[in-house]
Amino acid sequence: MDLNEYIKLNYNSNPLWFIEEVQQFHHQKRILDVIKRKKYLNGKHAIMDRVVENYNGKPYQPNKILLQYGKLILNLEQTYLLGNRLTITGSEDVAKEMKRVYKKGQYDDTDFKLLGNVIKFGDAYEILFVDSKSKAIKSKVIENENAYPVYDDEGELVSFIEHYVAGEEANEYFILFSETEVQKYSTIGTGKLSLISKNKNVGGLPIHYKNVNEINSLYGKSDLDDFVGIVDQLEDILSKFSDSFYKHHNPLTVISGQELTSGGLNRHIVGNAIHLDDDSTIELKSVNLNEKAFETIFNTLVQQMLNLSSTPSVSLNSTDVSNLSETSMKILYQLSNQKGKQNERYMRNGFEIRFEKIFELLNRKGIEFTEDDIDSLDVVFSYATPQNETEIIDNLVSLKGIGAISNETAIEINPYISNTNQELERLNVSKVVEDKTVEE
């Protein structure tokens, strides 16, 4: 089904069909979920809704202890996969050109933001374009709360709408993407919605990155949903325990028998004394704190949160890592590696579409490659797992000694070298200087 057929069947060929489309329930629910998660990551947690209580006949403001475990865990998951730059591999010409595209288009930052959106919201959207000034191929990451992908009944993307409100006058903007053109509508100036621009779409429809959602195959699911309930419980337990600790140090005075001192005790004076009759008693009553039970519950919830989020406890300083071998460290990061491979697969699904679009744009510039060269293109992810760099160097030396690895590959893997091309050039210069010295 093409876009015109979709509009005809669903909106009776209404030219302003996109206004009704963005108001569909499934779109509005998804956008509200995105905004809710953004607020949560910004500190709007359930614990902040605790109301003022009454204690000892007076208003008492309960503690609201905020634990940003969710934000921390998602950031760890993001940097674990893309904290180190991707390595582009393939035939020499393709790899060289793609590295140039990635550098000019700042795709390292783009990939990092795309992965962050997939982890936080389940979806990410990328649109490719050619910069009008530099002529470089670039990508724009569309904010999730502004994104309205349009799918037909077969799950095929037929259009994409970017809708947002901006400016002091709260002007509405609608950007419509089709395979061939981009239309922009706005209420700016007149207050009435009108077409303000129409341009050729060289990048095609936006690329939809998503993870697995068991309920809806068209959209992903936020990783935050897996453990946010546990974080809420941790905040609730810690806040209420802090309240009980405060109340424990503010005990109730219980007097039995006849009090001989009139007027009671002045709370503003230190060193008061009270006179009691014979057989009278005075006691300070307070709630007994069971810190062991609290510690057990809290630590159990923390561990389950780490398990569900595939986060190694060593990342949050919850495990002593002294005298651990690299093999033991890899075992600790086993769940993180599994999670990283899943995220890698989600990113690769989008990268395949991106590479196709980049080759099409390069072809428009007159830069062409053979099918074999295009098929050779690949990217290598370098997980941020703690490594023994000395052991890596020793392995590289052994592989080089038996001729099982090239200089370029060894330099790419070398943890001490960040710029492979620059290092190769320096080695070539050094070799030329040495050859001249030998000849002299």
Indicate the residue among 184, 210, 236 that finishes a domain: 210
Using alpha carbons, select from 334, 305, 335 the residue that is nearest to residue 73: 305
- Residue keyed to tokens 């994104």: 147
- Asked if residue 205 belongs to a domain, the reply is yes
Whether the model clears a pTM of 0.75, i.e. scores above it, the answer is yes
Tens of pLDDT, residues 175-207: 999 999 999 999 988 889 999 999 999 999 999
- Residue keyed to tokens 């389950």: 304
Give the pLDDT of residue 283.
77
| pLDDT above 70: residue 322 | no
Identity of the residue numbered 313? S
Indicate the residue among 176, 210, 244 that finishes a domain: 210
| Residue 27 phi, psi (nearest 5) | -70, -45
- Asked if residue 58 belongs to a domain, the reply is no
Using alpha carbons, select from 50, 314, 81 the residue that is nearest to residue 211: 81
Compute the distance between CA of residue 183 and CA of residue 200 in angstroms, rounded to an integer: 9
Q: Report which DSSP code applies to 50.
A: P
Structure tokens at 15: 């030219």
Indicate the residue among 180, 210, 240 that finishes a domain: 210
Tens of pLDDT, residues 133-172: 889 999 999 999 999 999 999 999 999 999 999 988 889 9
Per the structure, how many domains does the chain have?
2
- Asked if residue 346 belongs to a domain, the reply is no
- Asked if residue 300 belongs to a domain, the reply is no
- Asked if residue 52 belongs to a domain, the reply is no
Question: For 362, how many CA atoms within 13 A lie in the half-sphere containing its CB?
Answer: 18
Distance of CA 225 to CAs 10, 264, 278, 305, Å?
Answer: 33, 55, 64, 11
- Across the range 435-439, mean pLDDT stands at 62
Compute the distance between CA of residue 143 and CA of residue 430 in angstroms, rounded to an integer: 48
- Asked if residue 108 belongs to a domain, the reply is no
- Asked if residue 135 belongs to a domain, the reply is yes
| pLDDT above 80: residue 431 | no
Give the pLDDT of residue 145.
96
Which residue range(s) make up the domain with 411?
A: 390-439
